[in-house]
Amino acid sequence: MAEKTQRLEIVTPERKVYSGDVRFVVVPGVEGELGFLPEHAPLVSALKIGVMKVQEENRTFKVAISGGFVEVRNSRVTVLARTAERDDEIDRERAEAAKARAEQRLAAKTPDIDVVRAELALKRAMARLKAIS
Ligand code: ATP
């Protein structure tokens, strides 16, 4: 009989963000969204800044991540992320402030601005806001 759930672990260099049994998980792969049901074929993929969707047996939630890797094997999904926050721990005001700061830097276009850094900060802030929208 097919398994109903798979193990999901989300970790960052700082902490364990989530560990639990889930029905379905979607991650932001560098080439597009990847969805995993239990017994998915083994896989490793790089992840971009974006939002994960996690479906437990009785609830669904989102997790903002800022890039990393996913490994799938034996009905176990492991996400190693640079940073990750579950939707219930995201500080909306902080993300809005980070978004405004990045937008101002990009609009100013002065030579001292690191454009790539500002663009990445903007993407992180937008992913956090999307996770709680
Ligand atoms: P900021 O400029 O607000 O620090 P950032 O995108 O530069 O944003 P990161 O370097 O990605 O921040 O993250 C630093 C730490 O702060 C990480 O532990 C991350 O999970 C946490 N963090 C960042 N923004 C938020 C937020 N809006 N809500 C909750 N935690 C956050």
**Burial (CB count within 10 angstroms: exposed 0-12, middle 13-18, buried 19+), residue 4:** exposed
pLDDT tens column, 111-120: 888 999 999 9
pLDDT tens column, 10-45: 999 999 999 999 999 999 999 999 999 999 999 999
Helix, strand, or coil (residue 48): strand
| CATH node for 6-87 | 2.60.15.10
**Choice from 124, 126, 133 to test ligand 1 binding pocket (greatest atom count within 8 A of CB):** 124
**Residue 121 CB–ligand 1 contact under 6 Å:** yes
**Residue 90 CB–ligand 1 contact under 6 Å:** yes
Which pLDDT score, from 0 to 100, does residue 112 have? 85
pLDDT tens column, 64-107: 999 999 999 999 999 999 999 999 999 999 999 999 999 999 99
Where exactly does CATH 1.20.5.440 map onto the chain? 90-132
Pairing of strands 6-11, 76-81: parallel
Backbone angles phi, psi at 56, to 5 degrees: -85, -175
Closest ligand 1 atom to residue 121 Cα is 6
Model-level pTM greater than 0.85? yes
Bridge partners (DSSP) listed for residue 32: 29
Place of tokens 């978004």: 99
Fold of the CATH domain 90-132: 1.20.5
Where exactly does CATH 2.60.15.10 map onto the chain? 6-87
